[in-house]
Chain A
Amino acid sequence: MRRLVPVLVVLMALAAAACSGNRDGDVEETPTPAATVESSTSMEPTSEPDDSAAESEAPAVSVGKQGGVFRRTWSDPPTLDPALVTDTTSAGLAVEIFSGLVAFNTDLELVPDIAERWDVSPDGLRYTFYLRPEAKFHDGKPITANDFKWSLDRAANPDTGSPVADTYLNDIIGVDAVLEGRATSISGVKVIDDHTLQIEIDLPKAYFLAKLTYPTAYVLDRENVESGGRSWTDSPNGSGPFKLKEYRVGERIVLERNENYYRTPANVDSILMNLAGGQAMAMYENDEIDIVGVGLLNLPRVLDPDGDLNKDLVVAPPDFTVSYIGFNSTMHPFKDSKFRQALNHAINKELIAEDVLSGLVVPAYGPLPPGFPGHNESLEGLRYDPELARRLLAESDYPTLSDEDKRIVITVPGTGGTIGLDLEVILQMWESELGVSVEIQQVEWATYLEDLQDAKFQAFAGLGWEADYPDPQDFLDILFHSESSTNHGLYSNSAVDAVLEEARTEPDVARRMELYREAEQMIVSDAAWVPLWYAGERYVLIKDHVNDYRVTPMIVPKLKQIYIE
């Protein structure tokens, strides 16, 4: 599945402009509101799982670096129950306290976790996992295949109310029956013996193992869950490298090292997460936290090679997101593609990216981000060309429309009148280059989502898209096929539909990518969107004494390898 990101929040977070109760770019994963979701399936397993997989275990850090406290800011997690986790804030904690069969390491390679190895049947449908015999919960109780079976059954049970069980577990045979309440046990999950678990899926899927890295598929201690009632997560008996030592809502979370951990235990004694937040950068400078994301405003100061902060700077790779302005192509004046093209050509994205957003984003001319499968370097985007824009506008039916039809309202999510630094400039450009005036309506997120799903907006902005798995289908088919439920602009082009449908079943990878490039070019030339930005590199400051902290574009367990000197 995929996620919708309110880019507004992301951009404002970059601006460190104290926005909507979110952290000001302090966490490099950029926690977003509860409505957005982080997924761990966005990476294909990079190493072929085979019997020698156990060797790909990350090399243990040399001993003698134990001790110390790692301090950072975090937000109150909506939940610590792995089955219910949908957001980055919760996931960042769940992956450290709990664990599952497989995991991503900080290089985003799929590595064995509780399962020390696994076999895949030749047809790619049956996975047999061999659990580490030494795997234990925090309290020392051994982890068995039965625990996994129970945990997966629980996650899929409708009474648990997991919003993501459908997303992450639906490949497993029998999950739908449990989800619909027709069964209580997933038929595709079988316990062979105490340390062997077999999972059957419906179709061969390369990304199935990646889905299992998400907390939904983690193992829980049945006794802990059942005796703790609905507040069992206050004292979770997990299996991850850290134990929840203290959680004071709104104040702090303290994690301490799990000495019973079945792999190399963590180096640091504890992790101190400050939940109160506030002026993160100042806290960093005052040596209250060890890591902080750099906001727009502080960027020049941090990039200055003579500054004190420059030595702490870490540049992290961008993630695969694109932000855009969507048009409803069934409403005037967006019915006319010439008008949409004119709007595209009238925006000087290079200028905005450089001067307004301080180079934190990369101008986008198509939906597929650089580095993403199918990304087309030679894509012919609708570049800044005010002359052409004016000509297209004159040719379009816009000048002939009635005043009522000329009216454009662009809806953005959020509150507080902060609509993102870029959008105001874009509207100014439309006004000054084309004389097209646009009104902004800001509605709060819950209303926005509902109206977006009902395709009520004439134009909408403040949104980004991030794939959950690296396949152009997740961008192009999902967003632009006329029958897709996430085609919020009701874009409909039968030629594009035909190419997208052909690509769905095309077995040859190269040919398939070719089809997607073709579709993307058609979509871009037809100006279904205004693609705005791809995520740029992110800047993070990490204190000198913290070593081996890896900034990753997605949530993975990473706190156990850091050490303090």
Chain B
Amino acid sequence: MWVYIARRLLWLPVLLFMVSAVTFALFRVVPGDPVTTMLGSRYNEATAERLREALNLDRPLAVQYASYMWGVIRPKMHTVRFGEEGGAEFRAPFLGLDFGESFRFRGRAVGPLLRSKMWVSLQVNTAAMVVALGIGLPLGFWVAHRQGSWLDPATVAAGVILASIPIMVTGPAILWAGCLRLDLIPCSGWGGLFDARILSVMLAMGIPGVAGFVRLMRASTLDVMGQDFIRTAHSKGLSGVAIDYRHVLRNALIPIITILAFSLSGMLTTSFVAERIFGIPGVGSFAIDSLFNRDYPVMMGLTIIVTTAFVLSILAADIAYAYVDPRIRYDANQGGAA
């Protein structure tokens, strides 16, 4: 197991190198460049030349790539502070993680810029996910045990009917009702996780999630309940509660974990529509605007961060698999399941 994890972690830098190199190259392939976009109608060769020089875009591609990556990996002392001023301080050398300076937001380092945008998206997605998982999983599990009762189809149908309404309708409708009519929540804007304004997004994004997880959890629970080993457990006389939690729940969660791992990395584009409707300064719209402005450093930074997050979440899913289902073993020699 540990060897497997180690192998996967060793694969990460290779993947990062490949993805970042391809990203870097692709940017030079597509038409349009940051300087043309920056200058617009003021474009003239001399100014463009000067700007390219100032932005180091005149150097050979390999040098540009190498210097960018060197900034990212060059070790540097990081200071981590716990608590307010005067709290415990730790200093440790770690990768430099210097993602350069944005072309579009001149004078701003990409790292903090991305961090603040991603933090916002993370909060929104977490809030929505809490709603979705918190209601969806228990409800799905419960409903799976209500086979035959009217509750089962009713819950599923209600969930589906709600979840099928596009967010372009639920969003404005929630705002219209909650803000203009009832005056319960502010109409728009962003104030962080513990601000009333997150409620509308949480609802609009969470409700479809609830229905999705109810159905997934229900299907997956039913699947497990119909399997031989559960029947065996029943016939062995194990108590229902024990079977429920030790076997059914565990196994039913397996497919959910995969979905979760993927929805983490899909954060970038999925919240894009919601961000526009609710006016949330998240990473979705930011990434797309950066792309349209050919903000190379931001896109590179984003690629590296998203790739890392993706690989780690996949790995986490694999480990979780093995944890919830002891039959799955990752063989160090084979790299697959035995």
Contacts and interface: CB of A to CB of B under 8 A. Distances in A.
A4 interface: yes
Counting chain B CB atoms within 10 Å of each CB, the highest count among A180, A249, A251, A278 belongs to A278
A276 B38 contact: no
Interface string A14-38: 0000100100000000000111110
Counting chain A CB atoms within 10 Å of each CB, the highest count among B53, B108, B120 belongs to B108
Interface residues of A, number: 61
A415 B292 CA distance: 10
A389 B54 CA distance: 52
Contacts of B38: 34-35, 86, 163
A415 B46 CA distance: 30
Given A35-B37, A37-B42, 7 more contacts: A1-B42, A79-B107, A160-B54, A166-B47, A250-B281, A415-B292, A445-B292
A100 to B, nearest CB: 19
A274 B187 CA distance: 12
A231 B102 CA distance: 12
Interface in B160-218: 172, 175-176, 179-180, 183, 186-192
B43 A34 contact: no
A159 B186 CA distance: 45
A180 B50 CA distance: 8
Contact of A276 (B47, B54, B279): B279
B107 A230 contact: yes
Counting chain A CB atoms within 10 Å of each CB, the highest count among B50, B116, B282 belongs to B50
A78 B279 contact: no
A225 B195 CA distance: 35
Given A34-B38, A158-B53, A249-B116, A450 B107 contact: no
A21 B281 CA distance: 10
A164 B42 contact: yes
A449 B190 CA distance: 33
Interface stretch (A209-217, A280-288, A300-308): A280-288
B63 to A, nearest CB: 19
Interface string A84-95: 101000000000
Interface string B259-279: 000000000000000001111
B279 A231 contact: no
Interface of A: 1-4, 18, 21, 33-37, 76-81, 84, 86, 158-161, 163-164, 166-167, 179-180, 230-233, 248-251, 274-280, 282-283, 285-286, 288, 415, 444-451, 453, 485-486
B55 A18 contact: no
A164 B48 CA distance: 11
Given A163-B42, A164-B42, A446-B36, A282 B109 contact: no
A81 B183 CA distance: 40
B293 interface: yes
A18 B276 contact: yes
A279 B175 contact: yes
Nearest to A159: B54
B41 interface: yes
Nearest to B285: A21
B190 A276 contact: yes
Given A158-B54, A251-B190, A279-B188, A163 B117 contact: no
A34 B32 contact: no
Contacts of A77: 105
Contacts of B106: 78-79, 81, 84, 161
27 contacts: A33-B293, A34-B104, A79-B105, A79-B108, A158-B53, A163-B47, A167-B42, A231-B108, A232-B107, A249-B113, A249-B117, A250-B286, A274-B189, A276-B188, A276-B279, A278-B278, A279-B188, A286-B179, A288-B186, A288-B187, A415-B292, A446-B33, A446-B293, A446-B294, A449-B40, A451-B31, A486-B41
B30 interface: yes
B186 A286 contact: yes
A314 to B, nearest CB: 21
Contacts of A81: 106-107
Contacts of A282: 175-176, 179-180, 187-188
Nearest to B186: A288
Given A33-B292, A250-B116, A415-B292, A230 B51 contact: no
Contacts of B278: 278
Nearest to A280: B188
A450 B51 CA distance: 16
A278 B40 contact: no
B280 interface: yes
A354 B295 CA distance: 40
B288 interface: yes
A309 to B, nearest CB: 13
Contact of A249 (B53, B172, B281): B281
A160 B50 CA distance: 10
Interface of B: 30-33, 36-44, 46-47, 50-51, 53-55, 101, 104-109, 113, 116-117, 120, 172, 175-176, 179-180, 183, 186-192, 276-282, 285-286, 288-289, 292-294
Contact of B191 (A18, A84, A251, A286): A251
B279 A163 contact: no
B279 A279 contact: yes
B75 to A, nearest CB: 21
Nearest to B294: A446
Contacts of A1: 41-42
A278 B280 CA distance: 7
Contact of A447 (B30, B175, B281): B30
B28 to A, nearest CB: 13
A200 to B, nearest CB: 22
Ranked nearest first, the 9 interchain pairs of A and B with the lowest CB-CB distance are: A278-B279, A250-B281, A446-B32, A278-B188, A161-B54, A4-B41, A276-B190, A282-B187, A277-B279
B281 A251 contact: yes
Contacts of A278: 187-189, 277-280
A283 B188 contact: yes
A450 B31 contact: yes
Nearest to A161: B54
A514 to B, nearest CB: 28
B31 to A, nearest CB: 5
A161 B51 contact: yes
B37 A21 contact: no
A18 B275 CA distance: 11
Contacts of B33: 446, 450
Counting chain B CB atoms within 10 Å of each CB, the highest count among A80, A159, A282 belongs to A282
Contacts of B277: 18, 278-279
Counting chain A CB atoms within 10 Å of each CB, the highest count among B120, B183, B186, B187 belongs to B187
B25 to A, nearest CB: 17
A230 B175 contact: no
Given A415-B292, A453-B43, A276 B281 contact: yes
A94 B83 CA distance: 35
A485 B176 CA distance: 49
A451 B32 CA distance: 8
Contacts of B293: 33-35, 445-446
Contacts of B108: 79, 231
A225 to B, nearest CB: 10
A180 B179 CA distance: 56
A231 B110 CA distance: 11
B281 A283 contact: no
Contacts of B40: 3-4, 35-37, 449
A441 to B, nearest CB: 13
A159 B30 CA distance: 27
A18 B289 CA distance: 14
Contacts of A279: 172, 175, 187-188, 277, 279
Contact of A286 (B46, B180, B192): B180
B281 A485 contact: no
B42 to A, nearest CB: 5
